[in-house]
Amino acid sequence: MDDRIYDPEYNPNASGTLAADDSPEGLASRDGAWGERDVGGAFPRNAAMEDYETLRQELSTRARSKGEGRVSGEVNPTFGRRISRSMSRRRSRSLARAQTTATSEGGDVEKAEEDADDFQLDAFMKEGHFEKRTEGRSAKKVGVIYKNLTVKGVGAGATFVRTVPDAVLGTFGPDLYRLITRFMPSLKIGRGAPTRTLINDFTGVVRDGEMMLVLGRPGSGCTTFLKAIANSREEYAGVTGEVSYGGIDAATQKKQYRGEVNYNGEDDVHFPDLNVWQTLVFALLTKSKKREKGDIPTIANALMRMFGIPHTKFTKVGSEYVRGVSGGERKRVSIAETLASKSTVQCWDNSTRGLDASTALDYAKSLRIMTDVSDRTTLVTLYQAGEGIYEVMDKVLVIDSGRMIFSGPASDARMYFIDLGFEAPPRQTTADFLTACTDPVERKFRKDCEGSTPKSAEELEQAFRNSPNYRMLLQDVSSYEKMLQETDHADAKEFERTVKESKSHRTVAAKSSYTVSFWRQVLACAQRELWLLWGDKTTLYTKWFIIIANALIVGSLFYGESLDTEGAFSRGGAIFFGILFLSWLQLGELMKAVSGRDVVARQHNYAFYSPSAVTIARVLVDLPVLLPQVIVFSLIMYFLTSLYVTAGRFFIYTLFVYVTTICITALYRMFASLSPSIDDAVRFSGIALNLLGKS
């Protein structure tokens, strides 16, 4: 075979084609073909050696990064660079296409090259952008202890399809009763709904700097466990047991440090008309002191580069009905927003849904770096986690039907279930094997072990409680509690001081869970409302068209009415329509308020702002936005309907229209907040508007 194929100095001729004797056919005729290397010319030996060297370094340092990084609590300095190179290689492929386009169109190639620079996540974290650092370590670190944690939920009953008569009767009966008793439980009659146990008697510990992977089939209780750890308990019938955060009890955490323990849900719910940049900047505005506002663009750009979405900077986030970024990109926006909260304990619920395998692995490695560098406490539940993701975890918790069937080091889980009698297929990942052990259809048993192997959730739970692994778990909990007592909860006290220092001292109370003052929350929410208004320009233009068209059409119907008693009734109808028309048109605000409730609730749990700040911000934005609409509508309607042409009466008419529109809009938003569903909100709002019209 011709040695030039393997010669690193060998290249095709300048024209990019092989000489006659160097063609693939010629080489094959002399020594035979050599696989697919001959299909496009000479084999790129330099590139192959570079890939081989990268792979060799990856394999040789993986064990060292896992051992040293986890035991010492410090991240291996090469670990972050390898992740950066891995993420950058994928970005470079899209960059090559962008450079080709930019060159052909005379674009700026240097800007594209700048975006492709390696992003050093570990170095960025050590600069202290996400938390205060003292002596090279994070000043905010707390572990999580949960003992005898049991959560009960309301049992699901039968659900009937609602008909029109049911909706009509329900508006004045059962639905109204349920709406009232939501806020006045003492008025409830009869027994409450039956409850069932969602998770049963969980005990364990996740130290600061550790990552726990929570595994289980859908419906087994993984989400419930994460919400209980994140102290999001409002939707459950009861929560018993003890959960503490470095010695801080759950009640204190909920009241004073709510934003330091966050839960990132599986569904990606955002304001669809905001772009990615606005979504991240808003989150950072509410979590940064005034003197730190200059760092917001840096952190926002870093978050986008971390997850490979800088190209979506000015693209709408979108939803099922609004075109925007893809589903995987929207998931990355959700992850970035949670990271922008700068929390200490983070619970991720199936956060890799919609991501491809390589991006999911990069995401898991990024969490590993942030956990190591910032000493965060991270709990993750994933479905179909790859082996690479499993290897970056410290601990694993396996749940079956609300029962804890294993909890301990991730390296011990596979052998534990094999010793119980389950068979681990050779090509099955560890996470899939652990989940399959809870599935009667997928699990397999070792030869002659099927009869003795526990199968039900109760049997598996009892087997774990009788195992040495459970005794090791209890010892781990006891040793962490002993360490806290011996240090007099030094980490918790430093955590409290650091959180206090991160707040705006003059305008935020020491025991408040918010970072910025209430009025800064209002200003940030008002800015977001203006972004939302401008982001949905189609609705804005349509609204203006409807206002002008209806004013001209309806005003022309009453044109030329006499000013005596003969036209008094007609002029009353014109005045009535003029006052209520804009109020009817504001019914669209009801839909926006209902659809945005989930976003407001999540960001309230993140301690971004108080819900009252959103309410005040919306009213403040309504004042200048509705004023020109009212003026244009009143000018057309008042003079077309031949009302008295005096300045005083015209301005009184305009004032009544303006105030009525503001009040009815607030009424719609009130029903949007009180009603459990959009259907109830529309029905109660319609009835209230009709009652006001008749009165």
Domain end residue (candidates: 96, 118, 140): 118
Asked whether the predicted pLDDT for residue 281 surpasses 90, the reply is: yes
Asked whether the predicted pLDDT for residue 115 surpasses 70, the reply is: no
Same domain, 569 and 437: no
Across 200-214, 280-294, 461-475, least confident range: 280-294
Please identify which residue in the block is written with the tokens 């090509």.
427
In 328-479, DSSP assigns E strands to 345-349, 377-381, 395-400, 403-409
Alpha-carbon distance of 676 to 671, in angstroms, equals 9
Cβ atoms of 407 and 397 closer than 8 Å: yes
Q: Which pLDDT belongs to residue 563?
A: 73
- Residue 80's nearest CA partner among 351, 299, 377, 368 is 368
Same domain, 232 and 345: yes
Same domain, 104 and 253: no
360-405: pLDDT as tens digits: 888 888 888 888 877 889 999 988 788 889 999 999 999 999 999 9
Asked whether the predicted pLDDT for residue 4 surpasses 50, the reply is: no
Inside any domain, residue 670: yes
Same domain, 460 and 529: no
Ramachandran angles phi, psi of 155, nearest 5°: -65, 140
Q: Which pLDDT belongs to residue 70?
A: 40
Cβ atoms of 154 and 193 closer than 8 Å: yes
More confident of the two residues 120 and 490: 490
Domain end residue (candidates: 441, 474, 507): 474
Other CB atoms within 10 A of residue 228 CB:
25
Q: Which pLDDT belongs to residue 50?
A: 62
Same domain, 76 and 39: no
Take residue 383 and report the two structure tokens written for it.
């479905």
Q: Which pLDDT belongs to residue 101?
A: 39
- Number of structural domains in the chain: 4
Alpha-carbon distance of 606 to 338, in angstroms, equals 8
Could you tell me what percentage of the chain is helix, strand and coil, using 3-state DSSP and rounding each to the nearest 5?
60, 10, 30
Q: Which pLDDT belongs to residue 673?
A: 86
Question: How big is the chain, counted in residues?
Answer: 695
Alpha-carbon distance of 425 to 305, in angstroms, equals 38
C-alpha angle 124-126-128 in degrees, rounded to nearest 5: 90
Q: Which pLDDT belongs to residue 612?
A: 93
Please identify which residue in the block is written with the tokens 């979590």.
287
pTM of the model: 0.76
Ramachandran angles phi, psi of 516, nearest 5°: -110, 165
Asked whether the predicted pLDDT for residue 306 surpasses 90, the reply is: no
Cβ atoms of 350 and 381 closer than 8 Å: yes
Across 22-31, 453-462, 470-479, 530-539, least confident range: 22-31
Roughly how many angstroms between the first and final C-alpha of the chain, as a whole number?
Answer: 98
Tell me what the mean pLDDT of segment 576-594 comes to. 86
For residue 573, the one-letter residue type is G
Q: Which pLDDT belongs to residue 16?
A: 41
Asked whether the predicted pLDDT for residue 494 surpasses 90, the reply is: no
| Dihedral of alpha carbons 598, 601, 606, 610, sign | positive
Asked whether the predicted pLDDT for residue 5 surpasses 70, the reply is: no
Inside any domain, residue 560: yes
Asked whether the predicted pLDDT for residue 138 surpasses 60, the reply is: yes
Q: Indicate the pLDDT class of residue 331, thresholds 50, 70 and 90.
A: confident
Q: Which pLDDT belongs to residue 14?
A: 41
> Chain centroid to CA 343: how far?
13
Same domain, 562 and 689: yes
Same domain, 550 and 641: yes
More confident of the two residues 223 and 342: 223
- Residue 668's nearest CA partner among 572, 575, 587, 565 is 587
Cβ burial 600-615 (10 Å sphere, 16+ → b, else e): bebbbbbbbbbeebbb
What SS3 class is residue 262? strand
H or E element that contains 602: helix 597-605
Q: Which pLDDT belongs to residue 118?
A: 53
Cβ atoms of 68 and 76 closer than 8 Å: yes
**Beta-sheet strand order (sheet of 403-409):** 248-249, 238-245, 144-154, 195-206, 403-409, 395-400, 211-215, 377-381, 345-349, 261-264
Look up the CATH number of the domain holding residue 452.
3.40.50.300
Inside any domain, residue 198: no
Q: Which pLDDT belongs to residue 124?
A: 57
- Residue 68's nearest CA partner among 371, 372, 308 is 372
Q: Which pLDDT belongs to residue 342?
A: 83
Asked whether the predicted pLDDT for residue 307 surpasses 90, the reply is: no
Same domain, 238 and 377: yes
Q: Which pLDDT belongs to residue 58?
A: 61
What SS3 class is residue 137? strand
Alpha-carbon distance of 174 to 97, in angstroms, equals 60
Q: Indicate the pLDDT class of residue 123, thresholds 50, 70 and 90.
A: low
Tell me what the mean pLDDT of segment 432-454 comes to. 87
Inside any domain, residue 557: yes
Q: Which pLDDT belongs to residue 159?
A: 59
46-95: pLDDT as tens digits: 665 666 566 556 655 554 444 444 434 444 444 444 444 444 444 444 44
Ramachandran angles phi, psi of 236, nearest 5°: -105, 155
> Chain centroid to CA 114: how far?
28
Cβ atoms of 400 and 422 closer than 8 Å: no
Inside any domain, residue 442: yes
Take residue 579 and report the two structure tokens written for it.
């006052």
Tell me what the mean pLDDT of segment 482-501 comes to. 87
Cβ atoms of 640 and 558 closer than 8 Å: yes
The secondary structure of residue 316, as a DSSP letter, is B
What SS3 class is residue 172? helix
Name, in order, each residue with C-beta under 8 angstroms of 550's C-beta and a sequence gap of 6 or more.
Answer: 581
Cβ atoms of 668 and 584 closer than 8 Å: no
The secondary structure of residue 162, as a DSSP letter, is P
Alpha-carbon distance of 675 to 113, in angstroms, equals 51
Same domain, 534 and 461: no
Domain end residue (candidates: 452, 474, 496): 474
Asked whether the predicted pLDDT for residue 693 surpasses 50, the reply is: yes
Asked whether the predicted pLDDT for residue 419 surpasses 80, the reply is: yes
Cβ atoms of 381 and 213 closer than 8 Å: yes
Mean pLDDT of all residues belonging to the chain: 79
Q: Which pLDDT belongs to residue 56?
A: 56
Take residue 406 and report the two structure tokens written for it.
């294993």
Q: Indicate the pLDDT class of residue 190, thresholds 50, 70 and 90.
A: low
For residue 267, the one-letter residue type is D
Q: Indicate the pLDDT class of residue 155, thresholds 50, 70 and 90.
A: low
β-pairing, 211-215 with 395-400? Answer: parallel
For residue 124, the one-letter residue type is F
Inside any domain, residue 603: yes
Highest mean pLDDT among 124-133, 150-159, 176-185, 346-355: 346-355
What SS3 class is residue 679? helix
- Residue 592's nearest CA partner among 179, 265, 269, 271 is 271
Percent of the chain with pLDDT over 90: 33
Q: Indicate the pLDDT class of residue 320, thresholds 50, 70 and 90.
A: confident
639-689: pLDDT as tens digits: 888 788 888 989 999 999 999 999 999 999 988 888 888 888 888 888 887
Tell me what the mean pLDDT of segment 501-517 comes to. 82
Q: Which pLDDT belongs to residue 47?
A: 60
Same domain, 540 and 463: no
What SS3 class is residue 479? helix
Q: Which pLDDT belongs to residue 434?
A: 92
Tell me what the mean pLDDT of segment 119-131 comes to. 56
Inside any domain, residue 170: no
Take residue 687 and report the two structure tokens written for it.
């009835």
Same domain, 79 and 36: no
Tell me what the mean pLDDT of segment 493-513 comes to. 82
Domain that holds residue 100: 71-118
Same domain, 419 and 543: no
Cβ burial 89-109 (10 Å sphere, 16+ → b, else e): eebeeebeebbeebeeeeeee
Alpha-carbon distance of 125 to 373, in angstroms, equals 7
Cβ atoms of 150 and 130 closer than 8 Å: no
Tell me what the mean pLDDT of segment 455-467 comes to. 92
Cβ burial 120-136 (10 Å sphere, 16+ → b, else e): bbbebbbeeebbebeee
Tell me what the mean pLDDT of segment 138-161 comes to. 80
Inside any domain, residue 60: no
